[in-house]
Amino acid sequence: MTETGNKTDKDKSIGVVETQYYTYAIPGKEHKLESGEKLGPITLAYETYGKLNKEKTNAILALHALSGDAHAAGVHSGQDNNGWWDDMIGPGKAFDTNRYFVICSNVIGGCKGSTGPSSINEATGKPYALDFPFITVADMVHAQRHLIDYLGIDRLLCVTGGSMGGMQVLQWVASYPERVRSAIPIATALKHSPQQIAFNEVVRQSIMADPAWREGNYYEYGQPEKGLALARMIGHITFMSDQSMEEKFSRRLTSGRFSFGFDADFEVEGYLHYRGANFVKRFDANSYLYITKAIDYFDLSGGRLIPGGKAIDTRFLIISFKSDWLYPSYQSQEIVRLLKRKHVDATYCELRTTYGHDAFLIEVEEQTTLIKHFLDKTFNGYLVVSDHGI
Amino acid sequence: MASEDIRLDHRIIYSIIGPESRVLDLGCGEGDLLYPLVRDKQVRAQGIELDDKAIQECVKKGLSVFHDDIEHSLREYPDNCFDYVILNQSMQEVKNVDFVIHEALRIGSRVIVGFPNFAFIRSRFMLFFRGKAPITKSLPYTWFDTPNVRFLSIDDFSDFCTEKNIRIIEAHYLGERRIIHFWPNLLALNAIFVLASGNAKKA
């Protein structure tokens, strides 16, 4: 394989994939959450790509961000719905499915097949809504560990993800270091800053301020569309950068002239409306509330990532993006500082893209190169790099 | 390894560093120095590099690198956590040399410094007879386009070490292709010093 693969290889998708489901925490064996509450049964929606080798040493767990799902790559039968990381997972791609077995599961609290506030509460026969217990990133990871146990994988070659997915990566290392050979947290943080919490709070308030939210009991009536769309519009602003918005929209007008009204005059307004309207069709408002709260609660700063005198042999590749102002590079550098103090083998690179926080979802060539070679080294050691150097 | 086309300074540093050492290379570039050490001597290596393209090359070689500048990169490391800290052809690009050398001595048992000799005979000729800022094999830059911010001779650096109570364990003087044995301050293009802290506690 050359560093970025040839064009045809790169464009190849994994093809048709199917979501699978795993249920655990059956009555009597409920999952005890970090909050102390119990939850069960729990279903996790997940997909897998590539083949698990006989030794079960080539498994990679990809973890999704706030609004992601288990569908990370390929398409579903008869549909045109490429997975959220289709640019990165597939034959010859950064996470090369010709070599590795990639797993992606929807987080608990989500709404894409895993148990969340829109799921039916077996005790009442109705959706949980706000009866759903608060979940944390540690709870999400705990649930994933059950899935990895079920798949018979003792040690993951790699856990990876961006944004909230990166938080889950860090949580995997904190909770189960012996089960993680390497970690690739991208555009993430050890904890949310007050600015990040503030954005999430505005997002939550915009949902809850919509009368259609009905204290969370909207399932018979339909989503609080206005509030949720507004929440997502705010989100999209933070995912882009000043420069990427300039490149994408500039001040272009939707109809060539001002309307002298409050319609979407500018393309950027139209884009936000479009993204907001699309989002309400695919994402549950209560899930958005619960998951943003889980992100705000997350904190592995101080000694919590690698406790006390514990030594870990997990290798790290940490990536941040210069134009990402939602998860600025200093937050990734805080992870690096922590790893330095603990002698952890790690690589950190800040990439110079203009895409802002969204960059991790896009096939940035440098990101692909870094990940591909980092995995290669983790999987094969130095045997495969003999064509370099001296 | 040691084949003829390897840079002389890399060959010398390669020979200094023992198997399975813990090594930090400050300004590791594309990892050409670290890679053979890791491959042949199972050295546990960490590079620090500011150039993101160079980092890509390091990762292709399977090396671990932090994207950072040298001065910022040192603070977080605990005392004595490396056997060797390397500053090869990067010290002259650092503004706060004193701080960097002392931090390097704090986190490493030995510090290997490689730098170009400003008092090399050709430099002296250029300055004295032609009245121009010297350009040599080891200082190949024009005055307006150089990454270097510090210009020093071998004798300057020896004086610095004496003044700062830094022990010089070894010194190697390099010509274009071979070691220089006589009048290094006049005849050497580059020097490589192995340093240790002057305090007795660091054996």
Residue A386 has pLDDT above 70, yes or no: no
Confidence (pLDDT) at B78: 93
Per the domain annotation, does A260 fall within a domain? yes
Best mutation target, A373, A379, A387, to test chain B (most B CBs within 10 A): A373
Question: Cβ–Cβ of A374/B56 closer than 8 Å?
Answer: no
Q: Does A352 touch chain B (CB under 8 A)?
A: yes
Q: Does A22 touch chain B (CB under 8 A)?
A: no
**Stretch A54-71: mean pLDDT:** 98
**Stretch A302-311: mean pLDDT:** 85
Same-domain pairing of A48 and A173: yes
Give the distance from residue B8's alpha carbon to the nearest chain A alpha carbon, in angstroms. 13
Residue A10 has pLDDT above 60, yes or no: no
CA B173, chain centre distance (Å): 13
Residue A389 has pLDDT above 60, yes or no: no
Q: Does A296 touch chain B (CB under 8 A)?
A: no
* Closest CB to A350 among B3, B67, B81: B67
Minimal Cα distance from B67: which residue of A? A349
Reported ipTM: the value is 0.91
Buried b (16+ CB within 10 A) or exposed e, B82-112: bbbbbbbbbbbbbeebeebbebbbbbbbbbb
CA distances for A169 relative to A21, A51, A327, B116, angstroms: 22, 22, 15, 44
Minimal Cα distance from A348: which residue of B? B66
Per the domain annotation, does A2 fall within a domain? no
* Two tokens, residue A75: 């398409």
**Stretch A373-386: mean pLDDT:** 76
In chain B, where are the structural domains located? Answer: 8-120+151-197
Q: Let me know if A192 is a catalytic residue.
A: no
Q: What is the DSSP letter of A215?
A: G
Contact residues, B window 80-99, toward A, CB-based 8 Å cutoff: 81
* Closest CB to A385 among B56, B62, B77: B62
Same-domain pairing of A52 and A181: yes
Question: Cβ–Cβ of B64/A389 closer than 8 Å?
Answer: no
Question: Cβ–Cβ of A374/B60 closer than 8 Å?
Answer: no
Give the distance from residue B62's alpha carbon to the nearest chain A alpha carbon, in angstroms. 5
Among A297, A321, A348, identify where a domain stops. Answer: A297
Among A297, A316, A343, identify where a domain stops. Answer: A297
Residue A387 has pLDDT above 50, yes or no: no
Report, as ranges of residue numbers, the positions in chain B whose pLDDT lies below 70: 1-4, 199-203
CATH of the domain at A233: 1.10.1740.110
Q: Does B29 touch chain A (CB under 8 A)?
A: no
No. of H helices and E strands in chain B?
8, 7
Minimal Cα distance from B79: which residue of A? A341
The position carrying tokens 């490689």 is: B114
CATH architecture of the domain B8-120+151-197 equals: 3-Layer(aba) Sandwich (3.40)
| pLDDT tens digits, one per residue of A267-285 | 999 999 999 999 999 999 9
| Residue of A163, A287, A323, A329 marked catalytic | A163
Per the domain annotation, does A74 fall within a domain? yes
Give the distance from residue B128's alpha carbon to the nearest chain A alpha carbon, in angstroms. 40
Residue A255 has pLDDT above 60, yes or no: yes
Per the domain annotation, does A53 fall within a domain? yes
Same-domain pairing of A147 and A183: yes
Give the distance from residue A236's alpha carbon to the nearest chain B alpha carbon, in angstroms. 28
Give the distance from residue A309's alpha carbon to the nearest chain B alpha carbon, in angstroms. 13
| pLDDT tens digits, one per residue of A96-118 | 999 999 999 999 999 999 999 99
Same-domain pairing of A150 and A203: no
Per DSSP (E only), the strands in A33-143 are 38-39, 42-49, 59-63, 75-76, 89-90, 95-96, 101-105, 120-121, 126-127
Contacts for A205 with CB less than 8 Å, ≥ 6 apart = none
Q: Which range marks the domain in which residue A284 is found?
A: 192-297
Q: What's the residue count for chain A? A: 390
Q: Does A343 touch chain B (CB under 8 A)?
A: yes
Question: Cβ–Cβ of A351/B52 closer than 8 Å?
Answer: yes
Same-domain pairing of A40 and A142: yes
Question: Cβ–Cβ of A349/B59 closer than 8 Å?
Answer: yes
Confidence (pLDDT) at A2: 38
For A87, half-sphere exposure in the C-beta direction (CA atoms, 13 angstrom radius) is: 12
Same-domain pairing of A379 and A317: yes
Q: Let me know if A324 is a catalytic residue.
A: yes
* Closest CB to B76 among A341, A352, A388: A341
Confidence (pLDDT) at A218: 98
Same-domain pairing of A164 and A251: no
How many structural domains does chain A have?
2
CB neighbourhood size of A122 (10 A): 10
Q: Does A370 touch chain B (CB under 8 A)?
A: yes
Same-domain pairing of A245 and A335: no
Same-domain pairing of A115 and A23: yes
Contact criterion met (CB below 8 Å) for B70 and B79: no
| pLDDT tens digits, one per residue of A183-223 | 999 999 999 999 999 999 999 999 999 999 999 999 999 99
Minimal Cα distance from A349: which residue of B? B67
Same-domain pairing of A54 and A131: yes
Per the domain annotation, does A390 fall within a domain? no
Per the domain annotation, does A93 fall within a domain? yes
CA distances for A170 relative to A63, A191, A201, angstroms: 11, 10, 23
Q: What is the pTM of this model?
A: 0.93
Of A185-189, A307-311, A372-376, where does mean pLDDT reach its minimum?
Answer: A307-311
Residue A388 has pLDDT above 50, yes or no: no
**Chain pair A-B, CB pairs under 8 angstroms:** 77
Contacts for B117 with CB less than 8 Å, ≥ 6 apart = B123, B138, B153, B154, B184, B185, B188, B189, B190, B191
Minimal Cα distance from B2: which residue of A? A390
Contact residues, B window 51-80, toward A, CB-based 8 Å cutoff: 52, 55-56, 58-68, 76-78
**Stretch A149-161: mean pLDDT:** 98
Contacts B77 to A, Cβ<8 Å: 340-341
Same-domain pairing of A149 and A225: no
Question: Cβ–Cβ of B35/A340 closer than 8 Å?
Answer: no
Question: Cβ–Cβ of A389/B61 closer than 8 Å?
Answer: yes
Confidence class for position A354, pLDDT limits 50, 70, 90 = very high
* Closest CB to A373 among B38, B62, B76: B62
* Partners of residue A75 on adjacent β-strands: A16
Confidence (pLDDT) at A11: 62
* Closest CB to A390 among B36, B62, B65: B36
Confidence (pLDDT) at B91: 93
Q: Let me know if A259 is a catalytic residue.
A: no
Contacts for A87 with CB less than 8 Å, ≥ 6 apart = A93, A361, A362, A363
Same-domain pairing of A18 and A138: yes
Of A13-17, A259-263, A378-382, where does mean pLDDT reach its minimum?
Answer: A378-382
CATH of the domain at A333: 3.40.50.1820
Among A278, A297, A316, identify where a domain stops. Answer: A297
